[in-house]
Amino acid sequence: MEPTKRDGGDQPTAPPARWPWLAAIATAIFLLLFYWPTGEERAPTTPPVADSSSIQSLVPDRPLPLDECRLQWTPGPEGSSYRLTLATVDSRTLATWQGLDKPQHLIPKGVLLPVKGESFLWRVEVFPPEGDPHLSATFTTRLEDD
């Protein structure tokens, strides 16, 4: 293929097949110059959660009665609020209570009927007046058969 001439002049133009390659090279140079990693760390996308070992279960290590299932845990700093989440052993959420002002909660019998005589999982998130929230480990508690 012979180079084409523009406006009848003597200067040949590049064949059109080279333009995509030149555009790709220009794009690569642009990306390298403006998006090359700088080595700076990025801020975390979620707020940090404090060490879960600071929240411990205070529930006795025995099956609890269905109609008197009170979950208790170590308190957070004064003025903290709590979120309590209960789940089945296969991780289906049974209930969540938010804004609790004491480090304990009496679980309504109706919530526990699906796991009567079985174990269930629970965890607590502590929201101190200042600072980051604390998320507990997941605790397991068993209910009495009757």
CB 132 within 8 A of CB 54: no
Question: Distances in Å between the alpha carbon of 24 and those of 15, 16, 31, 37, 138?
Answer: 16, 14, 11, 20, 52
pLDDT value of residue 44: 39
pLDDT value of residue 118: 95
Picking from 10-24, 43-57, 83-97, which range would have the lowest pLDDT averaged per residue?
Answer: 43-57
Percent of the chain with pLDDT over 90: 58
Mean pLDDT confidence for 82-86: 96
Between strands 134-135 and 93-100, the pairing is unpaired
Residue 2's contacts (CB-CB under 8 Å, 6 or more residues apart) are: none
pLDDT band at 20 (very low <50, low <70, confident <90, very high): confident
Mean pLDDT confidence for 118-144: 94
Mean pLDDT confidence for 51-55: 69
Mean pLDDT confidence for 57-70: 94
Mean pLDDT confidence for 71-100: 95
- C-alpha dihedral sign at 91, 93, 141, 117: negative
99-128 confidence digits (pLDDT tens): 999 999 999 999 999 999 999 999 999 999
Mean pLDDT confidence for 64-69: 94
Task: Tell me the C-alpha distance between 26 and 31, whole Å.
Answer: 9
Q: What distance lies between CA 18 and its chain's CA centroid? A: 48
Give the chain's mean pLDDT: 81
